[in-house]
Amino acid sequence: MPRVVYGCCIIAKTPFLIGLAAALAAGSAGAAKCKTDKDCSAGLVCQSGTCVAKSAAAPPASTAPATTTTPQGGVNTGRVAWGQIGLYDIGFSVTVPGFGTVSSSSGYFGLNAGAAVNVMQLAPDLPLAAWAQAAIILASGGSYFPLNAGAAVRYDKLPVQILGGLGFTLMPSTASGAPTPVGVAIMAMGILPLPQVDPHFSAVGQLAYHFLNNGFSLFTLTVGGGWAF
């Protein structure tokens, strides 16, 4: 009788043993080594050198922009925001038939706020940045609001970092009946890190010229502070 009982138990456990062996074989196949998803079987992806089920794969970790230290000890995140005050010289020219072109300009106080963000590397030490800026010019007869956006290159290996490039300019105003000039801006900015104040802080200076339609032009010379964020 004991032999019969043992034989029945072995027969009863056979399907379980077969299923366990199949599961172990599947697990072994799922743990296969890989370099890319193409090295894995259908339904599996390559993660950390091992084939795993898609549902078990961890989402890729987000990577923050690289942060470096300038020669002066300041923080360089590839992103900088600024605020500035300075001179805004608005030029205007008109062609008078039979007389020629008459030009004039007036200088006013203004202030601006803007930011630049590195978007890609053109060379190891030369990133391409996107920049944008908004300003207010406190002119007589109405205020002007130059708005700029464009692309620039940034060189960070000098004591004074250089940011320079081109942008699009739109200059609406509050003056009654005044046109809204549009055009192209040429901008250059110097960024001097001041880690003795704060590792993120810098002094900034900007020089720009805006070629506008409707007879307008704009020259700006501004200074202020910047912050690496």
What is the percentage of the chain residues whose pLDDT exceeds 70?
80
Domain ranges within the chain, ordered by starting residue: 2-56, 72-228
Q: What is the CATH number of domain 72-228?
A: 2.40.160.20
Three-state SS for 43?
Answer: coil
At residue 149, φ and ψ (nearest 5 deg) are -155, 140
What are 122-151's pLDDT values in tens digits?
998 899 999 999 999 999 888 999 999 999
Average pLDDT over residues 63-71: 60
Model pLDDT, residue 189: 98
Reported confidence tier of residue 48, pLDDT bands at 50, 70, 90: confident
**What are the CB-based long-range contacts (under 8 Å, 24+) for 207-211?**
208/148, 209/185, 210/146, 210/169, 210/171, 210/183, 210/184, 210/185, 210/186, 211/183, 211/184, 211/185, 211/186
Model pLDDT, residue 62: 40
Q: What global pTM score does this model have? A: 0.68
What are 198-215's pLDDT values in tens digits?
999 999 999 999 999 999
Q: Report which residue type is found at 183.
A: G
Q: Report which residue type is found at 72.
A: Q
**CA end-to-end distance (rounded Å), the chain:** 83
Top mean pLDDT of 9-18, 19-28, 197-206 is at 197-206
What is the percentage of the chain residues whose pLDDT exceeds 90?
56
pLDDT at 17 over 80: no
